[in-house]
Amino acid sequence: MCRFLLIVAASFGVSTLTVPVAQAQDLTIANAASIARGGQIYDKWWKVLGNPEPTETHAAYPADSAKDGSATWRCKECHGWDYIGPNGRYSSGSHFTGITGIEGMAGGDTAAITAAIRGGSHGFTSDMIDDAAMADLALFVSQGQYDITAYVTDGASTGDPVVGEAAYATICAGCHGDDGMKIKEMPPMGELSGNPQEMIHKIINGQPTESMPAMRIFGPQLAADITAYVATLPQ
């Protein structure tokens, strides 16, 4: 929408100096850093915030599901890397809980989202997630979601690996190596591409407490393209 308006404006000779102002009106661009931080909090809040890792199993985590302990306190564990809970990757297997996704809150009021996360069976106190972090997290839930079905089909990215190769070589390879094996503390990148939903989330929001950039401003299509290329790397 903004780009279309700018093209129209440019054709009438209006100065291109209006670009930053027009972009700032786009909530997701103006708040990209906050939303990306929210995405990392969704991934593993206690690591991002430097708070104690929970030891008990979360009270809302189903007794007959497979996980226990701190894993059950991660937003992603109950709601999915793809945000659609039982309708997505966690529809079966060791991460299945049957708990609803958060897609119903996409575009939602951040005060209502905050109330949902603080209250009810959730019980995320301000000692766990402080108010500033909660603002980022609620903005992520409201403005940071994308429709994963547009980028992943049958467990694989539908992105363009040719575009992805160029992006990987110029953005990722310096840290991760051309073959995706340079960082020894993590599995080979090619192996991680088996979970494209997680890969796309991490490319867009970054990795908690690591130097890895958040690519949110470039959008989910480029993240899907990179993920499609990464699937060709050695496992």
Shortest separation between residue 189's beta carbon and ligand HEC, angstroms? 6
Nearer to ligand HEC, 29 or 128 (CB): 128
Asked if 181 touches ligand HEC (CB under 6 A), the answer is no
Segment 60-69 long-range contacts (CB within 8 Å, at least 24 positions apart): 60/99, 60/121, 60/122, 61/97, 62/97, 62/98, 62/99, 65/96, 65/97, 66/94, 66/95, 66/96, 67/94, 67/95
Asked if 58 touches ligand HEC (CB under 6 A), the answer is yes
Nearer to ligand HEC, 22 or 62 (CB): 62
128 vs 65: CA distance, rounded Å: 24
Shortest separation between residue 117's beta carbon and ligand HEC, angstroms? 5
> Count residues contacting ligand HEC (CB under 6 A)?
45
218 vs 36: CA distance, rounded Å: 12
Residues at the interface with ligand HEC (CB under 6 A): 42, 45, 58, 60-61, 72-73, 75, 77-79, 99-100, 102, 104-105, 113, 116-117, 120-122, 124, 137, 141, 171-172, 174-176, 183, 185-186, 192, 199, 202-203, 207, 210-213, 215, 226, 230
